[in-house]
Structure 1
Amino acid sequence: MGRLGAMTRPSGSAERNARICLLLEVTPSLRLRDVARDLGVAEMTLRRDAASGKAGFICQGGYLVRGRGTDTYDFEEQMRRASEAKLAAADHAAALVPEGACVFLDTGTTVPHLARALTQRRVKRVVTHCLTSAELLHGRTSAEVEFIGGRLQSRTRSCHPPDPLGLLRPLGIEIGFLSAGGLWENRELSCSHEYEVAMKRAVLELAAENWVVMDSSKIGLRRAVRFASLDEVSGVVTEHGVGETPARGVQTG
C-alpha cells in the first residue's frame, strides 16, 4: 500500500473514501489499521464509512476491499448469505485437519471461513489460489502459506495457472477442501465456472483426503459445470456436520 500519510490528509469523508477507492483500483485489499494510521482517523471511522453503503468499499475482517458495483462486492455478498451455516460448516471441516498437515483450500464462499478457522490450528502449510483465503491467513497463522498464482478470475477472487497439477504436485498436499455450488441427486458435484475444474481435479488426484465444504442450501442444486461425483471425495461437510444432511437425506461415504 502506498503511504497515504505522505500526502495532505483528506478534510472529509468524501475525499477520504475517494482516496481509498483509488488505491483499491490497483490492489485487491488494504489493511484497515494501515489506512487508518495514514489517514489520521480511527479504525472505527473507516468501519462506519464502509458500513454506510456509500463509500465504495466494505470492511472484511481487518481489511478494506472494493464495494458495491464490483465483482468483489458480489463475492462478499455471497459469503454473507447463509453466513451462520457457512461458519458452522467451516468449524466442522477444521476439526478434520490433523496437527502438522498440509492443507489445500479451494475458492468459493464457504471455504474462506475455513481459512479463518485454521488460523487457530497448528497446520504445517496452507496452499490456496483464493485471494480471500490468502488475505485472511496473512499475518494470522504460523503455518506456511503458499499462494498459487495464475490468471486472475475476479468473480471468484481466485487465480488459475495453466498447469495446476504440475504446480501442486511438489507441495505435498495431504488434505483438500473443495467448494461446490451444487450437489445434484446425491451424486453429482458441480460449480459455476469451467475454469474452476482443473484446480479441483488436480487436488482430487493428489490429496489423500478430499472434503467438499458447503452449506446445505446447495444440496439439490445443479450448476453449469460438473467437476466430480460424490464417490470421488471423502465426504461432504455442511453446517450439520460430516455427511449429516438430514434436510435432503444425502449420504456420504
Structure 2
Amino acid sequence: MTRPSGFDERNARICLLLEVAPSLRLRDVAQDLGVAEMTLRRDAASGKAGFACQGGYIVRGRSTDAYDFDEQMRRASEAKRVAADHAATLVPDGACVFLDTGTTLPHLARALARGRVRRIVTHCLTSAELLHGRTSAEVEFIGGRLQSRTRSCHPPDPLKVLKPLGIDVGFLSAGGLWEGRELSCSHDYEVAMKRAVIALARDSWAVLDSSKIGDRRAVRFATLDEISGVVTEHGVGRRAVPVAEAD
C-alpha cells in the first residue's frame, strides 16, 4: 500500500474504505496507513474529517456519503428559507433559472413559483414536486439516473442536456465552504451537473445556510472564484465570504 502523506489523503482513503464497511478497527487502519492511532484520533477530532473514532473503531462521520435527506431538510430550515428569499432577489423577470438538488433550494423553488420567471430547470424531485401545478412558469425536469439519497436525477452528459436551455441564473447547493474558497458536496455524482451549470449560466450562485461555512464535505466541486458568489441567511456575498454570524 502506498502510504498517504497527509490529512487529505488519509481522510480520502478512510472514507473510501467506509463505503464498503460500516466500521473499521482503528489499530488496523493506523497500521495500514503507517501512522499512530493518536494521529487518526486527532484527524477525527478536527471536525474536518469524514469519519469519527468510537472506542477502538472508526465509523462514518457527518461528512461521508451517509447523507440523510429528510434529516438535512429539517436542519436549519428557517435559515434555509431566509437564504432562499435572498437568492430570489437575484432573479430578473423573464429569466431561465436552474435549481440544483439539496435541501435549501426547494425553499427557493417555492419562492420562484410566485415570481415572474420564464422557465425553471431542475433535476431535483423535491423542487419539481413543489412546482407542479403551483407556477405559471415552464418547468423543465432533467431526467437521468435516479439517486435516492439526494432525490435527484443525473443524465450521462449534463452539459449537452443543459446547453440548449439558455440558463440565465444557476443556483447550486453546497455542503461546505472551506476556508472561504472551496465549495464541496457529499457525492461524486453531483459534480458533473454543478460544473455544467457553472460553465453555461450567465450567473451562478451557491446557496447555503451559514452553518456550512467552515465545513468541508467529501467532494470538492468549485472554488468561489468560479461562481458569482454565495448566498446565506445573512445576505449575498459577491465572490467573497458572506457574514457568517449575525451582528
TM-score by length of 2: 0.70
* Residue-pair matches, total: 177
Shift of 1:75: 1.4
- List per-residue Cα deviations over 1:184-241 (Å, max 9, x = no partner): 0010000000000000000000001000000000000010000000000100000001
Q: Is 2:107 the partner of 1:118? A: no
Q: Is 2:102 the partner of 1:108? A: yes
Q: Which of 219, 222, 226 is equivalent to 1:228? A: 222
- List per-residue Cα deviations over 1:74-110 (Å, max 9, x = no partner): 3122111101100000000001100000000000110
CA distance in structure 2 between the aligned counterparts of 1:147 and 1:154, rounded to whole angstroms:
16
Q: Which of 118, 129, 133 is equivalent to 1:139? A: 133
Gaps of at least 5 residues in structure 1 are 1-72
Which one-letter code corresponds to 1:82 in the other structure? A
| Aligned counterparts, 1:69-80, within 5 A | 74-80=68-74
Q: Which of 233, 236, 240 is equivalent to 2:234? A: 240
Q: Secondary structure at the match of 1:141?
A: coil
Shift of 1:248: 6.5
2:45 matched residue in structure 1: none
Q: Which of 200, 204, 211 is equivalent to 1:210? A: 204
Which one-letter code corresponds to 2:198 in the other structure? L
2:82 matched residue in structure 1: 88
Q: Secondary structure at the match of 1:201?
A: helix
CA distance in structure 1 between the aligned counterparts of 2:188 and 2:148, rounded to whole angstroms:
14
Q: Is 2:169 the partner of 1:175? A: yes
CA distance in structure 2 between the aligned counterparts of 1:245 and 1:162, rounded to whole angstroms:
34
CA distance in structure 2 between the aligned counterparts of 1:247 and 1:146, rounded to whole angstroms:
34
Q: Does the 8 Å CA contact 1:220/1:248 hold for their aligned counterparts?
A: no
Q: Is 2:188 the partner of 1:201? A: no
CA distance in structure 2 between the aligned counterparts of 1:246 and 1:74, rounded to whole angstroms:
27
Pick closer, same or farther for the CA change 1:248–1:239 going to 2, 3 Å: closer
Which one-letter code corresponds to 1:245 in the other structure? P
CA distance in structure 1 between the aligned counterparts of 2:105 and 2:244, rounded to whole angstroms:
21
Shift of 1:247: 3.0
1:163 matched residue in structure 2: 157
CA distance in structure 2 between the aligned counterparts of 1:80 and 1:209, rounded to whole angstroms:
28
Which one-letter code corresponds to 2:69 in the other structure? F
Q: Would you identify which runs of 4 or more consecutive aligned residues in structure 1 move more than 3 Å?
A: none
Q: Does the 8 Å CA contact 1:219/1:248 hold for their aligned counterparts?
A: no
Q: Is 2:179 the partner of 1:185? A: yes
Q: Does the 8 Å CA contact 1:89/1:241 hold for their aligned counterparts?
A: yes
For the aligned residues, what is the CA RMSD? 1.5
Which one-letter code corresponds to 1:124 in the other structure? R
Q: Does the 8 Å CA contact 2:234/2:244 hold for their aligned counterparts?
A: no
Identity rate, percent: 81
